[in-house]
Amino acid sequence: MSNHIQRETRRSDLRRRLRNAAARKLRAEAEIEDVEGELAWMDEQEDLDLFRSWRGKPDWDALLKGKGTTCRYMLANYFAEWMGLRLLGLRTDTDQQAIGLSVPTSEDSALAGEVVERRRRAIEAIAPFIIPARTTSTIRFNVYGTNVDGFALELRLSRDLSDISLVKMQWGGVVEATPFATIGEALIHIQTTYPAGDVADEVGPQAEDAPGQTGDALRAALAAFLDGCRSAGMPLEHPGFRHGSASARPTEGARLTAESTLT
């Protein structure tokens, strides 16, 4: 047999083996996808049972921990936004979700004061569940708003909330730290110096409008949480999630209902 015939025979055999291996790979990948999907579904069901077990009082230790399921992340972010906060991604040093805040302003001094008070209550409610940074031993809230260009801002608080400072950072290093006597004073400074729009434009998240699979996950999570509220004797329709109708812009009363439930 000539070398050419030997190579062609070998080439044909290799191509056959390659086709068979590719078919096995496709079957294995499909099986992996099915198994991963079922495991993810089971994890989501575990979380939904967890949300029901809270009986209307969120467990922020669980909500902020690690990556978690889509249901858990979406519910945590939904609750945070109703409190005027926001999840910003995972902190690798604490394995917790980073939390950001902004403080809108208003020409109406009463409205401006109310939003500062809401942010203060939110910070004090969630701070006990935040793991302090390993490098600074402080609780950190990322601050966003206008006039923040070329630097980052963090509101840093000691564990007992007695030491408060607004820290300006560039390239990961602190370039300026401004101390404050109270959280309220720090928030007023943020509102004055780095305002985030107008109070009148601030609208809570609307679960019914959330798109795609993440929206489905949020609605399932919130429905489970509401089941827990009802089992605790708190039959309520959470603002931003009303069965059978589009969610309207929340009233101030609805906002306060949400905040009292979450904190």
Query: Which pLDDT value is given to residue 60?
Result: 93
d(CA 65, CA 131): 10
User: What is the average pLDDT across 13-39?
Assistant: 93
Q: Does the CA dihedral 249-252-256-257 come out positive or negative?
A: negative
Per-residue pLDDT of 117-175, as tens digits, reads 999 999 999 999 999 988 888 999 999 999 888 899 999 999 999 999 999 998 878 88
- Asked if pLDDT for residue 215 goes beyond 70, the answer is yes
What does the pLDDT look like over 96-105, one tens digit per residue?
Answer: 999 999 999 9
Out of 9-23, 43-57, 242-256, least confident range: 242-256
Distance (Å, rounded) from C-alpha 202 to C-alpha 96? 26
Predicted local confidence at residue 263, as pLDDT = 59
pLDDT score of 249: 38
Q: Is the pLDDT of residue 247 over 70?
A: no
Backbone φ and ψ for 102, nearest 5 degrees, come out as -140, 160
pLDDT at 261: 57
Helix 183-193 × helix 109-126 angle, to 10°: 130
